[in-house]
Chains A and B, each alone.
Chain A
Amino acid sequence: MSQFTADKTLDARGLSCPMPSVKTALALEAMTQGQVLLVLTDDPVSKRDLPVWAEATGNTLVGLEEEGPTIKIFVKKG
Chain B
Amino acid sequence: MQQTIQKKTPVTIVLFSGDMDKAMAAFVIATAAASMGMPVSIFFTFWGLNVIKKKGGLIKGQHWMQKMLNIVNYGHARKLALSKLNMLGMGPVMMKEMMSKKRVPSMDEFIKTAAALGVKFYPCEMSMTVMGLKKEDFIDECGEVIGAVSYLSIAKESNINLFI
The residues of A that contact B102 with a CB separation of less than 8 Å are 16
Complex: A25 Cα to B34 Cα, angstroms: 9
Beyond A21-B32, A53-B35, whether A16 also contacts B2 by CB under 8 A is no
Beta-carbon contact of B32 and A18 below 8 Å: yes
Let me know if A22 is at the binding interface, CB within 8 A.
yes
The residues of A that contact B2 with a CB separation of less than 8 Å are 55, 58
The residues of A that contact B31 with a CB separation of less than 8 Å are 18-19, 22
Beta-carbon contact of A56 and B113 below 8 Å: no
Q: Name B27's closest neighbour in chain A (CB-CB).
A: A18
Beta-carbon contact of B35 and A22 below 8 Å: yes
Let me know if A44 is at the binding interface, CB within 8 A.
no
Q: Which of A15, A17, A18, A56 has the most CB of B within 10 A?
A: A18
Q: Name B9's closest neighbour in chain A (CB-CB).
A: A56
User: B104 CB to closest chain A CB, in angstroms?
Assistant: 5
Beyond A55-B1, A55-B2, A57-B5, whether A16 also contacts B103 by CB under 8 A is yes
Q: Is the interface of B mostly helix, strand, loop or mixed?
A: helix
The residues of B that contact A26 with a CB separation of less than 8 Å are 35, 116-117
**For this complex, into which size category does the number of interface residues on chain A fall?**
10 to 19
The residues of A that contact B147 with a CB separation of less than 8 Å are none
Partner of B37, one of A16, A19, A55, A57: A57
Beta-carbon contact of A22 and B1 below 8 Å: no
Beta-carbon contact of B117 and A16 below 8 Å: no
Beta-carbon contact of A22 and B5 below 8 Å: no
Query: CB within 8 Å of A: which residues of B?
Result: 1-2, 5-6, 28, 31-32, 34-37, 102-105, 113, 116-117
Query: CB within 8 Å of B: which residues of A?
Result: 14-19, 21-22, 24-26, 53, 55-58
Excluding A19-B105, A22-B117, A25-B36, 18 further A-B contacts by CB distance (< 8 Å) are A15-B103, A16-B103, A16-B104, A18-B31, A18-B32, A19-B31, A19-B113, A22-B31, A22-B35, A22-B113, A25-B117, A26-B116, A26-B117, A53-B36, A55-B1, A56-B1, A56-B37, A57-B5
* Nearest 6 Cβ contacts at the A-B interface: A18-B32, A25-B35, A22-B35, A21-B35, A56-B5, A14-B103
